[in-house]
Structure 1
């Protein structure tokens, strides 16, 4: 996975990603909340009570998250196409048009593709793209991917977030984990490959790190 992170280009500007994608992942530090509502699919945001009128400041950004979204959607499509080939394969085998070895090969490829989809989805759904903190510093908003490779926002109380200084993870590692005391959900933060945009707010949530970028 570290090699994949290094291989994904880290474009810096909205022009590199294409204008149609700016509505899915913010191209700047501030965005219009109404535009976000229109750009998301229903049910793609887990809102915390009382955050409807809150303003959030971007504190961290992982530019390559769009590329991982593309990979996730391509993997879903590839797996679907592979599984669609199974029924015709069984039919051709029943008619004597396909040998058993070929049917087993098709089944093995479909099974491997499905297993890889499950593994990649488990990881990509926890990969952090953008982090926001509200003005009062009490709520952390995590932008990550869905199973289908689209953006989803999850809100976490800052008081429930385990500071990185209390974990065994180190900033120089490929990923550091964003954990919650309640154990609700764990996210993977590629700190080495992302950008800390607001060091002060980031430190308030995760603690002071000696090698913070």
Structure 2
């Protein structure tokens, strides 16, 4: 997985200060998703921290077993939702950049903690949208790599392509007629 710090993956190009990147795509709501991710972490921590006092109160007869089970269920649900939301938010693209040579794609996305993280991958490893089953009309399109290391999601419906030429060099020309019977979607 790119960005995981594994010994075989590169998280940064050889000389990042020598590289100059141009923004080609932006999803403005990514900041709100970062805040939501941080709030979800805090909410989950609070519900899990409430369990030990609940056990104590139950052992002292101050809390019923049903109340303890309810608290445990809420904490379990909060943990499950945290895992699901984190899985999605870590793959949601906020900004895409391409270096001036057009050889490196920089993907700005969120970490588990809701902060920004940049992941670098060679443009040659990115599967163009023209080779994918995703359609531009769908809510999310996958950014995949031939190496299969990482998959990201971007939304063309709510995000903005800022530099259509550079974007097309990386992902191919978006075919709005792609779909059943070659007809254009009404969205």
Which TM bucket (shorter chain)? 0.7 to 0.9
Paired residue for 2:13, among 35, 48, 51? 48
Point out the structure with the larger helix share. Answer: 1
Residue 77 of structure 1 corresponds to 42
Give distance in 2, aligned partners of 1:63 and 1:190. Answer: 11
Give distance in 1, aligned partners of 2:166 and 2:176. Answer: 16
Task: Give the TM-score, by structure 2 length.
Answer: 0.87
Residue 161 of structure 1 corresponds to 126
The Cα offsets for residues 102-141 of structure 1, whole Å up to 9 and x where unpaired, read as 0000000000000000000000000000000000000000
Higher relative contact order (CA 8 A, sep 6+): 2
Q: List 4+ stretches of structure 1 deviating above 3 A.
A: none
Give distance in 2, aligned partners of 1:187 and 1:198. Answer: 19
Q: 1:192 Cα shift?
A: 1.0
Task: Give the TM-score, by structure 1 length.
Answer: 0.77
Give distance in 2, aligned partners of 1:157 and 1:165. Answer: 18
- Name stretches of at least 5 consecutive residues in structure 1 with no aligned partner: 1-42
Residue 149 of structure 2 corresponds to 184
Residue 138 of structure 2 corresponds to 173
Residue 105 of structure 1 corresponds to 70
Q: 1:191 Cα shift?
A: 1.3
Q: CA RMSD in A?
A: 1.5
Give distance in 1, aligned partners of 2:143 and 2:12. Answer: 18
Q: Alignment partner of 1:121: what SS? A: helix
Residue 28 of structure 2 corresponds to 63
2:53 equivalent to 1:88: yes
Give distance in 1, aligned partners of 2:92 and 2:162. Answer: 18
Residue 196 of structure 1 corresponds to 161
Superposition map of 1:121-136 within 5 A: 121-136=86-101
Q: Would the aligned equivalents of 2:26 and 2:161 in 1 still touch at CA under 8 Å?
A: yes
Q: 1:51 Cα shift?
A: 3.3
Q: 1:170 Cα shift?
A: 0.4
May I ask how many residue pairs the two structures share in their alignment? 169
Structure showing greater Rg = 2
